[in-house]
Chain A
Amino acid sequence: MLFTVTYQGNHTQDLGFLLHKHPERAQQFSLSYGKAYVFYPEVSDERTTAALLLDIDPIDLARGKVGSTEGGLFDYVNDRPYAATSFMSNAIVRIFGTAMSGRCEQRQALADTPLNLTATLSSLRDGRDTALAKELFEPLGLTVSAERSLLDERFPEWGESPYITLKISGTVRLCDLLNYVYVLIPVFDLQKHYYTSEDEIRKLLDHGEGWLADHPSREKIAKRYFSVKKSYARRAIDILMQQDPEEEETEQTAEQEAAEEQAQRTPLNTQRMNAVRDAVLKSGASTVIDLGCGECRLTSLLLNEPQIKAVTACDVSVRELEKAAQKLHIDRMPAFRKNKLTLMQASLTYVDKRFSGFDCACVIEVIEHIEPMRIPSFERVVFEFAAPRTVILTTPNREYNANYEHMQENALRHGDHRFEWTRAEFEAWTAHICEQFGYTCEIGGIGEYDAERGYPTQMGVFTKHG
């Protein structure tokens, strides 16, 4: 909510001309989400500071005047009025728009000259990624200092604050400095207060003109800038690359390398889906139920197989199913393919007659999301009541987690996992299932094998007796 620019040197009062805001006059501006003030905390020959202060109305924010036509997007208790967010970017472009374009009739030469400038932003959210500020601003020739406090000094065990007070300084044209700040605030904060539409690509490229294409982290910048619209990020990156034909060559080889590496290391999830599809086909099944289908990656693979005549995909989360329907392009799916598919909401802890009558049930990376207390119900729903001939179930191998560098000890792979099994635990569980429900089980693994810790994913293929 507070942004300052300090100009050091001689006749620094000229900052007022560059910003088109008189140093001796404090002003206020009305914006749709509140007010903005521009004033000068210090004005002297050697040092002049301009401040842009936002006064965001928290009640409007919560009750839905801002950023949405239908109800509030925000809680009453919210950091948005105080942190440096897209609101600030918006205010900068609205109030310092002329300065950003580099125009200044009265001091054009000064506007075109790199000056000794310092900018500060209070409470900029970087999600405790300490390296981010340096990564983004240092390549632009700026000196970065970031101060971070404890989240709450009364409770040191809560850890550090996700915000920094950012100070960047260097010899730089004012218009460039403003454009950097404008583009990079949402790259830190990730959350935008307005709907991201296509003209945002244009905006990014305009304000990034002359520096973004050369920025070593330009892809990251584009991706984070469009954190909710990946396709926009891709298009922006494509355009940025074209602007720079010289570099294209080297970039391509790097890309090729990456592609080759990719081929060697197919993402675990893809490997898992392929392995499960193969197991389904091997079981001879022609009707399959995907229990906990998520975004339907497996279902979509199965629909490609002539052997599979019908797939029912269920998930307990309706939102997940909506995403799945989108990803599968269900609204323009050919009738033949569509007729093979059923999407439905279902729970694995309630007996469900709709689960009966399939050759094979797939339960892929699902069991670890179920409360341990509910596992007995899950077992009966799947193995006693649905009771298909084949059940294919996968779950993480906890032992393998030690191979993931970024993971802390004893952590689980996903925040929603209630448990992860070791190989021995999984084996014991499969034995219990086989005994209680009359199945035999073949245990396998998916992913890169580690001699000591096994496969990252464990797979059990259960076959019903008789």
Chain B
Amino acid sequence: MDKYRIEIPEFCLVALIGGTSSGKTSFAHRFFKPTEVLSSDFFRGMICDDESSQTVSGDAFDLLYYAANKRLDHMKLTVIDATNIQKEARKQVLDLAKEQNVHAAAIVLNLPEEVMQERNKARPERSFPARVIRQHARDVQRCIRGLKREGFRFVYVINSLEQLKNTEIVRTRLWNDKRDLHGPFDIIGDVHGCCTELEQLLCRLGYVRTDAGYAHPDGRTAAFLGDFCDRGERSTDVLRLVMDMVKAGSAIAVPGNHDVKLLKYLRGKSVSMTHGFDKTAAEIDACGEAFKAETEAFLDGLISHYVLDDGNLVIAHAGLKQEYIGRGSAAVREFCLYGEVTGETDSYGLPVRLNWAADYRGRGTVVYGHVACKEVKVQNGTVCIDTGCVFGGKLTAYRYPEREIVSVDAAKQYYEPVKPLEEEENQALGDLLTVGDFNRKLHIETKLLPSIDIHENNTAAALEIMSRFAADPHWLIYLPPTMSPCETSPLDGYLEHPLEAFAYYRKNGIRNVVCEKKHMGSRAVIVLCKSPETALKRFGITDGTRGIIYTRTGRQFFTDSETESALLDRLDRQLTERGFWDDFETDWVCLDTELMPWSEKAQTLIRAQYAPTGNAGIHSLTDAVAALEQASKRRNLAFDVDAITSGQNVDPKELLVRYRAKQDDMARYINAYREYCWTVKSIDDFRIAPFHVLAAEGKVFAKEQHVWHMETIRKYITGADPVFMETPYLCVDTEDEKSVENGVNWWISLTGSGGEGMVVKPEVYTAYNQGRLLQPAVKCRGREYLRIIYGAEYLEPEHLIRLKKRSLNHKRTLALKEFSLGIESLTRFAEHAPLYRVHECAFGVLALESEPVDPRL
């Protein structure tokens, strides 16, 4: 006997229908994964430990449908293993399918009653009265005929044991699933009968005319977004061309709302002659029956959307919101054809549309048409390429994966639009950030680290800092990472020493490192555009500025915009005079720099903490030393400890030595912080030392070696204007003793006079050891400098010994995460990712750096 073949889509909702003892459960186990099957008995047991308890049915089905809903959210095939005999029960299945936009399939086990009676008897532990079995068998038989009408897209009935034995289930792909097609594609927007422009466009794209329409010599595929007809002059020519290309396999097509209207007309239904349909009707009426029949069949067979290229590309006439992609239902089809409307009409009598693209967060690019705009509209990974050819605009193609735009101007205005084509202005709409993307646990995938989780109590803290202090997020394409110090030095009198930094990299297989002088200023990121127009176009900056200097927490460095723009102008002068813009083919740049003096940004910190500590310290210690000096001159008796006094004897001379050391420490501490303070009287008193050229148009320079960064900065920025300071550096071969000694001596010379120290980096920007990402840099700070970190007295042996017990693990993990996020956000920006995707990374860095708070009240 032939196999009984059951074909169901690989993603759908299956209802098993059959009375008790019909063998549903063993059927399910034979054909489906255990996790695919949701059995009502199982959920009964979960609730009350008794799989046959009918009293908990309500709760059991609540749980079952909750689980089913979650599975379908994740696009997983789901089987409902329950009797499903009652119409109400099946309605629940169908409602779920509808809500989830999946097809419902029914598989009916309509076995002879005797079989079921026998089986029922065979399991005495939970047997039912014979009349129940009989009733079930009858109910099943009766419901079969109505299943299609009820809404099951696929219905299969198994009537005998033999048929059951011969059954096989084949899972088919959904019609919209073309993930195996990788293009390359040329996606073409609404044509509306503009065949002349279409032919020109195809030629420009490199297609050549063949017997069957057009084909591309490199095997590219054209993808039509529908709306072939109406308003224009050559609708039937367009249909002919598209049908030929699709038939020949050189094109794919999805239908538009106008095409569906034409289909209705061809099927003899009445349609209104509005929106330019009269022209199409006239053309098609003049065609032969064969063409009409072919067109009807063609349009009828079109699938409303396609998921292409492993899910990275989606095409639909009016676009598609994220939760509909890859699903099939009337609602999905409606959306593909008409978009999402409120049901209201505007002052032009046109439907009011909801901006689904603003909420789109999918990873696949959705390319669509339907709403004519003056220019291609990109938002959150969606691209609208209807540029209103028939209204006198242009016909546009979007080349994928190149993401290039190719357009042909309309020869004339064929049809007057009801309202003027949408202007760019609306583009800004999608540009506001939405809180729902950030006030939750974040899971960020970066190219350097596969996944970075950021907890909700950190994101809540970041939300506050971002909202209260940060600059316009459009500017924040990068936040710098924290940097770990080198391992603690075992040398006496040193907390940090370069030998440890060299050892870290050597041990991790990095032979060559670069030492860069650490300027004691404040980290400052500079973004500069050639002009405010670039800032508007590329960054979405609307306040007319063309650049920004911001701190490591994303806060604008200068509160007065004059200083900021003066510094930016001076930077621009260097870059322009030395040909940076041309050499790098860019009109913007992002630099990582250190801005001095430290006192400029750290004013509050210095005046509220550093200077007061020094002031209180030096006065108290001076008084203490004076008192001890006096006491030391006096005779000191060492009495035995008696019962009344609790103190132990102490020698004031020893105390004097101790407090003189403290006094000396304090004086050195004061000198250390003073070193980094100077009063800014004019713009010339600032110093900016760039050390990374982070990114420019289309490029992130994270593959260039650090020496390249240093030399590029020297070539284009430093040397002429004293504000821009070079960063001295030294290359060290960590396996060469002489070279290492040089490195140590260099550090000593840098820090001897109170310098902050140096940063040691591997010669490459991103370094790995056996696939493990290494610290991008470690800092080695000077002995004197560290007084302003660990306090004036930190070098006193009894303090230092404790300070040396420090763990770097946490800091190092953070540094790696933040480094990855920094590079990721630059990369995303360079690749024109939507704002929320770039902001996510900057937000993540800030969150990692924040003190966690509990957002749940």
Give the interface of A toward B (CB within 8 A). Answer: 1-2, 4, 20-22, 24-29, 37-43, 49, 51, 53, 55, 57-59, 62-63, 75-79, 81-83, 95, 120, 122-123, 125, 149, 151-152, 154-155, 157-159, 161-163, 165, 316-319, 321-322, 325, 330, 343-353, 369-371, 373-374, 376-377, 380-381, 385, 416
A87 vs B472: C-alpha distance in the bound complex, in angstroms?
45
Contacts of B638 in A (CB 8 A): 25
Asked whether A42 lies within 8 Å of B649 as measured between CB atoms, the reply is: no
**Residue of B432, B467, B470 with most chain A CB atoms under a 10 A cut-off:** B467
Asked whether A316 lies within 8 Å of B468 as measured between CB atoms, the reply is: yes
Of B461, B628, B791, the residue contacting A76 (CB under 8 A) is B791
Asked whether A62 lies within 8 Å of B628 as measured between CB atoms, the reply is: no
- Is B434 in the interface zone, CB < 8 Å from A? yes
Asked whether A41 lies within 8 Å of B631 as measured between CB atoms, the reply is: yes
Do A28 and B648 contact each other (CB < 8 Å), given the known contacts A62-B791, A349-B467, A376-B542?
A: yes
Asked whether B650 lies within 8 Å of A371 as measured between CB atoms, the reply is: no
**Residue of B435, B614, B615 with most chain A CB atoms under a 10 A cut-off:** B615
Asked whether A125 lies within 8 Å of B468 as measured between CB atoms, the reply is: no
In the assembled complex, how far is the CB of residue A146 from the closest CB belonging to chain B, in whole angstroms? 12
Asked whether A21 lies within 8 Å of B645 as measured between CB atoms, the reply is: yes
Q: Across the interface, name the chain A residue whose C-beta is closest to B786.
A: A76
Do A79 and B799 contact each other (CB < 8 Å), given the known contacts A27-B648, A41-B631, A349-B467?
A: no
Asked whether A41 lies within 8 Å of B647 as measured between CB atoms, the reply is: no
Of A79, A344, A371, the residue contacting B471 (CB under 8 A) is A371
- Starting from the known contacts A77-B613, A151-B607, A161-B612, 4 additional A-B residue pairs (CB-CB under 8 Å) come to A58-B794, A63-B802, A318-B460, A416-B468
Of A41, A49, A122, A317, the residue contacting B464 (CB under 8 A) is A317
A190 vs B802: C-alpha distance in the bound complex, in angstroms?
30
**Residue of A27, A38, A77, A123 with most chain B CB atoms under a 10 A cut-off:** A77
Contacts of A125 in B (CB 8 A): 616
A178 vs B461: C-alpha distance in the bound complex, in angstroms?
45
A445 vs B798: C-alpha distance in the bound complex, in angstroms?
63
- Is B769 in the interface zone, CB < 8 Å from A? no
- Is B788 in the interface zone, CB < 8 Å from A? yes
Contacts of B621 in A (CB 8 A): 1, 82
A346 vs B614: C-alpha distance in the bound complex, in angstroms?
41
Do A26 and B649 contact each other (CB < 8 Å), given the known contacts A75-B609, A123-B620?
A: yes
In the assembled complex, how far is the CB of residue B342 from the closest CB belonging to chain A, in whole angstroms? 14
**Contact size class for B?**
35 or more
Contacts of B614 in A (CB 8 A): 152
- Is B556 in the interface zone, CB < 8 Å from A? yes
Contacts of B439 in A (CB 8 A): 345-346
Taking CB atoms and an 8 Å cut-off, the chain B residues in 621-649 that contact chain A are: 621, 623-624, 626-628, 630-631, 634-639, 644-649
Asked whether B432 lies within 8 Å of A380 as measured between CB atoms, the reply is: yes
Give the interface of B toward A (CB within 8 A). Answer: 432-436, 438-439, 460-461, 463-464, 466-472, 542-543, 556, 606-607, 609-617, 619-621, 623-624, 626-628, 630-631, 634-639, 644-652, 655, 658-659, 666, 670, 674, 677, 679, 788-794, 799, 802-803, 853-855, 857
Asked whether A163 lies within 8 Å of B627 as measured between CB atoms, the reply is: no
Asked whether B649 lies within 8 Å of A373 as measured between CB atoms, the reply is: no
Asked whether B855 lies within 8 Å of A345 as measured between CB atoms, the reply is: yes
**Residue of B612, B659, B666, B670 with most chain A CB atoms under a 10 A cut-off:** B612
Q: Across the interface, name the chain B residue whose C-beta is closest to A40.
A: B631
A221 vs B808: C-alpha distance in the bound complex, in angstroms?
45
A155 vs B659: C-alpha distance in the bound complex, in angstroms?
26
In the assembled complex, how far is the CB of residue B660 from the closest CB belonging to chain A, in whole angstroms? 13
8 residue pairs A–B, Cβ–Cβ below 8 Å: A22-B637, A37-B655, A53-B624, A155-B679, A316-B464, A318-B464, A345-B460, A349-B467
**Residue of A1, A21, A82 with most chain B CB atoms under a 10 A cut-off:** A82
Q: Across the interface, name the chain A residue whose C-beta is closest to B466.
A: A347
A77 vs B609: C-alpha distance in the bound complex, in angstroms?
7
Do A350 and B791 contact each other (CB < 8 Å), given the known contacts A75-B609, A79-B617, A149-B615?
A: no
Contacts of A79 in B (CB 8 A): 612-613, 616-617
**Residue of B434, B616, B646 with most chain A CB atoms under a 10 A cut-off:** B616
| Number of residue pairs A-B, CB distance < 8 angstroms | 233
Contacts of B789 in A (CB 8 A): 76-77
The binding surface of chain B is classed by DSSP as helix
Contacts of B556 in A (CB 8 A): 371, 373
Asked whether B637 lies within 8 Å of A24 as measured between CB atoms, the reply is: yes
In the assembled complex, how far is the CB of residue B734 from the closest CB belonging to chain A, in whole angstroms? 31
In the assembled complex, how far is the CB of residue B670 from the closest CB belonging to chain A, in whole angstroms? 7
A462 vs B630: C-alpha distance in the bound complex, in angstroms?
74
Do A53 and B627 contact each other (CB < 8 Å), given the known contacts A151-B615, A346-B435?
A: yes
Do A29 and B467 contact each other (CB < 8 Å), given the known contacts A2-B623, A40-B634, A79-B613?
A: no
Of B436, B466, B623, B635, the residue contacting A165 (CB under 8 A) is B623
Asked whether A325 lies within 8 Å of B857 as measured between CB atoms, the reply is: yes
Do A2 and B648 contact each other (CB < 8 Å), given the known contacts A151-B612, A316-B463?
A: no
A153 vs B631: C-alpha distance in the bound complex, in angstroms?
30
A93 vs B479: C-alpha distance in the bound complex, in angstroms?
51
Asked whether B655 lies within 8 Å of A39 as measured between CB atoms, the reply is: yes
A37 vs B638: C-alpha distance in the bound complex, in angstroms?
15
Q: Across the interface, name the chain A residue whose C-beta is closest to B543.
A: A373
In the assembled complex, how far is the CB of residue B107 from the closest CB belonging to chain A, in whole angstroms? 41
Of B472, B543, B624, the residue contacting A1 (CB under 8 A) is B624
In the assembled complex, how far is the CB of residue B582 from the closest CB belonging to chain A, in whole angstroms? 31
Do A165 and B619 contact each other (CB < 8 Å), given the known contacts A27-B648, A28-B648, A352-B435?
A: yes
Contacts of B679 in A (CB 8 A): 155, 157
Q: Across the interface, name the chain B residue whose C-beta is closest to A161.
A: B615
A349 vs B433: C-alpha distance in the bound complex, in angstroms?
8
A158 vs B612: C-alpha distance in the bound complex, in angstroms?
11
In the assembled complex, how far is the CB of residue A119 from the closest CB belonging to chain B, in whole angstroms? 13
A165 vs B622: C-alpha distance in the bound complex, in angstroms?
12
**Residue of B438, B666, B792 with most chain A CB atoms under a 10 A cut-off:** B792
**Residue of B646, B649, B857 with most chain A CB atoms under a 10 A cut-off:** B857
Q: Across the interface, name the chain A residue whose C-beta is closest to B617.
A: A82
A371 vs B789: C-alpha distance in the bound complex, in angstroms?
31
Asked whether A155 lies within 8 Å of B677 as measured between CB atoms, the reply is: yes
Asked whether B542 lies within 8 Å of A4 as measured between CB atoms, the reply is: no
In the assembled complex, how far is the CB of residue A88 from the closest CB belonging to chain B, in whole angstroms? 10
In the assembled complex, how far is the CB of residue B702 from the closest CB belonging to chain A, in whole angstroms? 28
Contacts of B637 in A (CB 8 A): 22, 24-25
Do A318 and B650 contact each other (CB < 8 Å), given the known contacts A39-B631, A51-B631, A79-B613?
A: no
In the assembled complex, how far is the CB of residue B378 from the closest CB belonging to chain A, in whole angstroms? 19
**Residue of A26, A370, A377 with most chain B CB atoms under a 10 A cut-off:** A26
Contacts of B627 in A (CB 8 A): 2, 4, 39, 41, 49, 51, 53
Asked whether B620 lies within 8 Å of A2 as measured between CB atoms, the reply is: yes
Asked whether A350 lies within 8 Å of B468 as measured between CB atoms, the reply is: no
Contacts of A58 in B (CB 8 A): 791, 793-794, 799
Contacts of B624 in A (CB 8 A): 1-2, 53, 122
Asked whether A152 lies within 8 Å of B670 as measured between CB atoms, the reply is: yes
Asked whether A352 lies within 8 Å of B461 as measured between CB atoms, the reply is: no
In the assembled complex, how far is the CB of residue B787 from the closest CB belonging to chain A, in whole angstroms? 8
Contacts of A350 in B (CB 8 A): 432-435, 438, 463, 467
A161 vs B615: C-alpha distance in the bound complex, in angstroms?
7
Q: Across the interface, name the chain B residue whose C-beta is closest to A348.
A: B467
Asked whether A152 lies within 8 Å of B611 as measured between CB atoms, the reply is: yes
Asked whether A42 lies within 8 Å of B630 as measured between CB atoms, the reply is: yes
Contacts of A152 in B (CB 8 A): 611, 614-615, 670, 674
In the assembled complex, how far is the CB of residue B79 from the closest CB belonging to chain A, in whole angstroms? 35
Contacts of B461 in A (CB 8 A): 318
Contacts of A37 in B (CB 8 A): 650, 655
In the assembled complex, how far is the CB of residue A156 from the closest CB belonging to chain B, in whole angstroms? 10
Of B438, B610, B799, the residue contacting A77 (CB under 8 A) is B610
Do A373 and B472 contact each other (CB < 8 Å), given the known contacts A25-B639, A75-B609, A347-B466?
A: yes
